[in-house]
Chains A and B, each alone.
Chain A
Amino acid sequence: DVKVTQSSRYLVKRTGEKVFLECVQDMDHENMFWYRQDPGLGLRLIYFSYDVKMKEKGDIPEGYSVSREKKERFSLILESASTNQTSMYLCASSEGLGGSSLHFGNGTRLTVT
């Protein structure tokens, strides 16, 4: 089975802190994604990557950056955390460009105070 592991299940940070959310997948998938989920808004794509060192902005990239130095790891960075970034963050991976099944991690619930 594909395993997508997010480093923290719950995280509490202060406004202005730099926050790192880590995601690791074990199936050599090319594509990796970061979403945030908020009530009534569904899942919104922040950034995605289709290869090492490659990244593309999703629908809501403002206030975030990403890093993909190795194929299995995709990091989401909140440069200066703000209260409106309190949310559930979900990482996912999938196989190549054909759009095969997407596999999600368990999510990180981030609270910014």
Chain B
Amino acid sequence: GIQVEQSPPDLILQEGANSTLRCNFSDSVNNLQWFHQNPWGQLINLFYIPSGTKQNGRLSATTVATERYSLLYISSSQTTDSGVYFCAVIEYSQGGGNKLTFGTGTQLKVEL
């Protein structure tokens, strides 16, 4: 199956700082998603981004599928951005379904 690696594994920021999280994947993928898991464990979709760039407020994401990576940018970070950020790639299974393979995540802590 596809291997998904994220970096850095841990990140501590001062409030207001910017950051870039990276996701590398080992093979061509049909799609890629970014998720945020808040400190209470809830996973929320951030972006569904097979290629190109999308922006949503202070967050933006870029996927370069031909080079097998995606980046998540967080600008002017806030304490509410703390949590774990996961990327997940979609691959079609032999049985006909599709499945997501997750990276191991980046643990972000934003401090005052």
User: Are A and B physically bound partners?
Assistant: yes
Q: For residue B97, which residues in chain A have a CB less than 8 angstroms away from its CB?
A: 31, 48-51, 54, 56, 97
Q: Which residues 68-88 in B have Cβ within 8 Å of A in the complex?
A: 86, 88
Question: What residue of chain B has the Cβ atom nearest to residue A45's Cβ?
Answer: B99
Tell me, yes or no, whether B104 is within 8 Å of chain A by CB.
yes
Contact check, A99 vs B31: say whether CB atoms are below 8 A apart: yes
Number of interface residues of B (CB under 8 A): 26
Number of interface residues of A (CB under 8 A): 31
Interface of B is mostly: strand
Question: What residue of chain A has the Cβ atom nearest to residue B105's Cβ?
Answer: A42
A-B contact count (CB 8 A): 69
Tell me, yes or no, whether B28 is within 8 Å of chain A by CB.
no
Once A99-B30, A101-B33 are accepted as A-B contacts, the answer to whether A42 and B99 lie under 8 Å apart by CB is: no
Tell me, yes or no, whether B90 is within 8 Å of chain A by CB.
yes
CA distance A42 to B7 in the complex (A): 13
Contact check, B100 vs A40: say whether CB atoms are below 8 A apart: no
Nearest chain B CB to A20 CB, angstrom units: 21
Contact check, A45 vs B33: say whether CB atoms are below 8 A apart: no
Tell me, yes or no, whether B51 is within 8 Å of chain A by CB.
no
Tell me, yes or no, whether A12 is within 8 Å of chain B by CB.
no
A interface residue numbers (CB < 8 A to B): 31, 33, 35, 40-45, 48-51, 54, 56, 58-59, 88, 90, 92, 94, 97-104, 106-107
